[in-house]
Amino acid sequence: MSPIDDLFSKLRNENRKALMPFVTAGDPDLDFTATVIQELVARGASICEVGIPYSDPIADGPVIQASYTRALERGVKLKDILAMLGDVAPQVTAPLVTMVSYAIIFRHGLEQYADALCENGVAGMIVPDLPVEESPLLAAVCEARDLSLIQLVTPTTPRERALKITENSSGFLYYVSVAGITGERTKLPPELVDRVSWLREQTPLPVCIGFGISQPEHVKLLAPVADGLIVGSAIVRRMAEVGENRDTVLGEVGDYVGTLLAALP
């Protein structure tokens, strides 16, 4: 079992749900990324997702795209991100996962990327642009190392295809709440609850919802039908406001995540 399997087993036994914040690696720099990860876990985050900056993001909205651009312009490198995660992982109680384009994994080498995650204490990877038809090879690489390969199901995914995605996924399934890109939203689709409920009936994998979740009201609505909730753009936007007073922004990000945690049942 991977650390993520262990986590969700524990959460289910305790009848609790996971909150998963997302941060962009290297925006504004890797030292602050590490500090924010530690703060979020200390506040009670169950898993931290770390975005690997990529010049051609597939589903990321303007906030996260801009953060990737800033990090790349400052020269952040994959090896430095992995080294930072290797330093942070032993200091936190929550598993860390990378949100990464398959193009980066492919260029690095499937086994080499997976080995690098293991060497640096990372529990898994979310690969948003990996087609299910091409996922078995990476799934086998991850399974051999007890890494979680987390894949996405969207509102437009046909049910038959969704079932195929579950067969080559591990750790949890990432359910995309809306058809579109990441970003904060005031309203979520009314059919979201029914779709997630159906998916949870089809697989033993935990199902976690992301895209658009930004308010305590969203957490209260979705927590009863999901195993976890993912929050990204609202955190990245706050981190983008970092200036000289980093402690202030760190506190604001922590307090914001605290309001979401307080809304969990």
Which tens digits make up the pLDDT trace of 191-207? Answer: 788 889 899 999 999 99
Distance CA 118, CA 124 (A): 9
CA distances from 184 to 14, 80, 105, 210 (A): 30, 29, 28, 10
Rounded Cα distance, 240 and 196, in Å: 32
| pLDDT, tens digit, 9 for 90 and up, residues 120-140 | 999 999 999 999 999 999 999
186 pLDDT higher than 50: no
Beta bridge partners of 18: 228
pLDDT (average), residues 228-235: 92
Which residue in 5, 27, 49, 227 is the catalytic one?
Answer: 49
Of the residues 14, 60, 119, 241, only one is catalytic, namely 60
Report the relative pairing of strands 207-210 and 228-231 from DSSP bridges.
Answer: parallel
Instruction: Map out the domains of the chain as residue ranges.
Output: 3-263
3-class secondary-structure state, position 14: coil
| Architecture per CATH, 3-263 | Alpha-Beta Barrel (3.20)
Is 143 in the active site?
Answer: no
Sheet containing 207-210, strands listed edge to edge, beginning at the edge strand earlier in sequence: 148-150, 124-126, 96-99, 48-51, 18-24, 228-231, 207-210, 173-176, 152-153
Of all helices (H) and strands (E), which one includes residue 23?
strand 18-24
pLDDT over 80 (residue 189): no
Helices (H) and strands (E) in the chain, counts: 12, 9
Least confident of 24-28, 82-86, 199-203, 208-212: 208-212
For this structure, is 255 an active site residue?
no
Would the CA dihedral through 102, 104, 110, 116 be positive or negative? negative
Residue 101 half-sphere exposure, CB side, CA atoms within 13 Å? 14
Which amino acid appears at position 176 of this protein?
V
Question: Does residue 261 register a pLDDT over 80?
Answer: yes
Rg (CA), the chain: 17
CB atoms within 10 A of CB 141: 19
